[in-house]
Amino acid sequence: VYSQNSRIPTLKKNATPLDDALRRDFTVNSLFYNLRSKHVEDWTGRGMLDLTRDKLLVTPLDARITFHDDPLRVLRAVRFAVRYNLALSQEIRLAAMSDKVHASLHVKVSRERV
């Protein structure tokens, strides 16, 4: 859970693997490797397809909310897209241009982080 003026979340008690996957920045970062079964678990149901078939960067939740909670994720989206040859989803593109996300970037992220 994120507070109004911070990009650092507070931990939620009794969180499930799905809760953890949904709080991630992108579906490709919400993949978990199960050490016991030696399989990748895709709790969002999209991460593997986004990474392997669609080559698309997508947020597990609404991108506007994701970027407002932690606006540094907008910069991470660009970095990931370039580094891993992924296209930005239309939702990410629109959210990145949002005035609310821009305002959050100024409030929540220090210049040193950018």
The pLDDT score that the predictor gives to residue 11 is 60
Residue 88 predicted with pLDDT over 60: yes
Are 91 and 60 spatial neighbours (Cβ–Cβ below 8 Å)?
Answer: no
pLDDT tens per residue, range 37-85:
999 999 999 999 999 999 999 999 999 999 988 899 999 999 999 999 9
The pTM (predicted TM-score) of the whole model is: 0.81
CA distance 97 to 27: 20
CA distance 26 to 80: 10
